[in-house]
Structure formats: C-alpha cells, structure tokens
Chains A and B, each alone.
Chain A
Amino acid sequence: EVQVVESGGGLVQPGGSLRLSCVASGFTFSSYWMTWVRQAPGKGLEWVANINPDGSDKHYGDSVKGRFTISRDNAKNSLFVQMNSLRAEDTAVYYCARERVRPERFDSWGQGTLVTVSS
C-alpha cells in the first residue's frame, strides 16, 4: 500500500524556521517526483514545491521562493521542506504527495501536518 506520512509541524514565531519531513512506503520512492501542497485554515489548496526523482530539479511557488527549500533522501525514502523566514500567512496544513508524470497528477497524499506561525 502506498503511504506517505508527514511530520515536523508545530508552532513557530514569525521569522523563525521549521523543517517538515515526509516518509514514504509501499513504492519505489527514488523513481518518483514528490511535491508539497499546503492549505491555510478554511482556504483552498496551494502548491508549494516539487522535486524530481534524483533531487536535481526543483520548482517553487511564487509565495515561498527564496524562503523554502525542498530536498529528499532516497536512501531513507524521505522528503523534506526547510522553511525559513516564516510569516503568519505560511500558517497551513502541509501535505506531502506523490507526483505521477505523463500525464501529471498527485495520486497519493499524506494526512498533513499543521504549521502555525504566530507570536
């Protein structure tokens, strides 16, 4: 069974940093693009970033570019996002998802981890 499980969320002050993790199982992690999507409380979905199978190609949403860094450790079936210079508007549930290609879609999602940015 394909499964992705996020962790690392919590309360952080504005300007602070946080690193989220996502551990995958049930598929060959090193063969897939992976992505982060977030959802602010009561709001819609916002794509954050994605990364190719070997970690050499990364893309970011406009609102996080320069502040967030996506990475992966294929040996540990793990995906990460390092979030710096956090703002109140970064408060959201962060989802990790597997990305399929040709045609593209996000086909397996985790339950999410909540990040709250507040003083």
Chain B
Amino acid sequence: AIQLTQSPSSLSTSVGDRVTITCRASQGISSDLAWYQQKPGKPPKLLIYGASSLESGVPSRFSGSGSGTDFTLTISSLQPEDFATYYCQHFKSYPLTFGGGTKVEIK
C-alpha cells in the first residue's frame, strides 16, 4: 500500500500567518491527491483535488501543489475558521490511504 507522510503533525500559528503543510508519498502518485479539512465533531471537507484544483466554494487562500511524491497545501493568510486538522489522501491505487493529519492550532 502507498503510505502518505504528513509534516508537521501539528503546528501553532497565528491569524494572518502563511501555513504550509507537506505530504510525501511512498511512491509516485502523479497528481492523484486530495486535501481535506476537518473540525472537531464534523465530517471532513474537501479543499483541493487533483493536487492543485480548488473545490468550488473553498476560499482562494487555500492552494495545493506538487506531483509525483511531494505535495504541499498552503494557506496564504490564516483565518480564525482555518484552525482545524488537515489530511491528504491519494487515489493512485487500492487501497486508498490518508495521511496521518496535521493539526493547526492557535499560538
């Protein structure tokens, strides 16, 4: 199975900061990667698919990049509602897997 390693596992940051989360795949997955945001007690919400396509309705401060094995999710200017846990997921082959998550906390 393809493993996805996210880093960092958590980070403390402030409103207005630029945040970058990385996701590394154990083998090449082309651009078959999605990013999700999850808040406590809520289901995940799709942010990015195809590594860099922004889901409809998601603010433009979110962006994704990368291909092959290395991917990033960037939040250009963190807003109060962005404090959450973020997950990457690949669709290259079965079984589908998620990264371990990155918790973004208030400093």
Show the binding face of A for B, using Cβ within 8 Å: 37, 44-47, 50, 59-62, 95, 97, 100, 103-107, 109-112
Contacts and interface: CB of A to CB of B under 8 A. Distances in A.
B67 to A, nearest CB: 12
B50 A103 contact: yes
Interface of B: 1, 31-32, 34, 36, 38, 42-46, 49-50, 53, 55, 87, 89, 91, 94-101
B101 A44 contact: yes
B43 A111 contact: yes
A109 B98 contact: no
A106 B46 contact: yes
Nearest to B44: A109
A38 B38 CA distance: 13
Nearest to A64: B95
Ranked nearest first, the 5 interchain pairs of A and B with the lowest CB-CB distance are A105-B49, A103-B50, A104-B91, A109-B43, A47-B96
Nearest to B1: A62
B43 A105 contact: no
9 contacts: A44-B101, A46-B98, A100-B49, A103-B91, A106-B36, A106-B44, A107-B46, A107-B49, A112-B43
